[in-house]
Amino acid sequence: MAYQSPAIGVAPGPGQIVRTILLLCALFSALAGYPTRAHAADTGIDPALDAALGQILDQTVGAHGVSGATLAVSIPGHGTWAGARGLANRDGDAALTSDALFGVASISKLFVATVALQLVQEGWLSLDQTVEHWLPGLVKRGDTIAVRHLLSHTSGVRDYLSEQFMEDVLADRDRAWAPRELVAAAGSQLAFTPGARGHWSYSNTNYVLLGLIIEQVTHNSLTRELHQRIIDPLGLSHTFVAPDDPIPGGLMHGYEGRRDETMGQHMSFAWGAGNIISSASDLARFAQALFGGALLRPETLAAMQIAVSVGKWGSADLVYGLGLMCSVLHATQPTPVCGHTGDLVGYRTALWYAPGSGLTVAVALNQTLANPNIVATKVLDVLHSRGFG
């Protein structure tokens, strides 16, 4: 296929409420010269900061049922600090380590969105192509649902990940789910007209459809594309795509209240929407590469940040771009951030990059009743108090 310059910089049509987040205006100046491959071994973090970050984790374990917490913090010019506290398994005695694995949940969407946008900038895919174009007959009114609608959750496609669906998953934990079965579980009726003004709804089905489109475009599996385009080039040695990749030991158990939810289900049920396993340090490295320009061109990254209002979903500051959340963490110094959060099978996760300073914070807690943004905000408080950001 001949290369065609994709119209990635074109703002979404009139059916979307679009506003460019002003808090990102300093993004590209902040990214100049920013390291994308910091390692813990290169860290120049002083002992006082090391102790302060460790103390945040100490305070986190035991609160809200959290028995394990892991954190990675990347500071431009100082490398990446990584730490963990608590137990890998609440019923055991093995201490959690800083390279512990966990389900990143919906942070997976940021990986999938990045692959999709790479295909856009290479000319193989267009944000304005429809689901019907790539997946004929799969979705009702698929000819009205564009790739950009899937990326931004403005498609109107309902979420397959309902309570009833999860009951079915739990009833047969070993069942392997085909992606098209997940789409079918969402039902055929749209919640609203795709791209309709003032309408937005978070739907995991959107990212299952994106995964299927990626496979159609590339003639490769989604897992292979994630590895070839992101995981392997960045050296993310602690990042895996379930259920295709074998998961080594070192998995942090995840809980909902007292119940152990540690991915006892066949992870095909979260395909494309939340099935990546990783470590905090690997997530931080991914964010550095993404926002540092190692994965997307500047114009593509700018298109990713054209955001729509999410209404009353999430915090008052939250807006959603193309697979990208942007918000403000209200530390002592309110900090605009971009990234994604996740909540699935016993894990709560957050990955945030601060455009104004280049700071990156990756957090994973093994308790769905806890809030990783509280940890991220405390980290920013500590960093701001020491002159970072």
Tens of pLDDT, residue by residue over 221-231, are 999 999 999 99
C-alpha 351/C-alpha 338 separation (Å) is 8
pLDDT bucket at 245, cuts 50 / 70 / 90: very high
Cβ atoms of 83 and 98 closer than 8 Å: yes
Q: Supply 269's token pair.
A: 């049920």
Q: Using one digit for the tens of pLDDT, what is the confidence trace for 323-367?
A: 999 999 998 899 999 999 999 989 999 999 999 999 999 999 999
Q: Using one digit for the tens of pLDDT, what is the confidence trace for 66-110?
A: 999 999 999 999 999 999 999 999 998 899 999 999 999 999 999
Question: Which domains occur in the chain, in start order?
Answer: 18-277+295-341+365-385 (3.40.710.10)
Counting residues of the chain whose pLDDT is more than 70, the rounded percentage is: 89
For this structure, is 106 an active site residue? Answer: yes
Which position among 67, 74, 106, 279 bears the catalytic label?
Answer: 106
Cβ atoms of 228 and 218 closer than 8 Å: no
Cβ atoms of 363 and 350 closer than 8 Å: yes
C-alpha 95/C-alpha 84 separation (Å) is 9
CA within 13 Å, CB half, 113: 31
The whole model's pTM is what?
A: 0.90
The position carrying tokens 């945030």 is 352
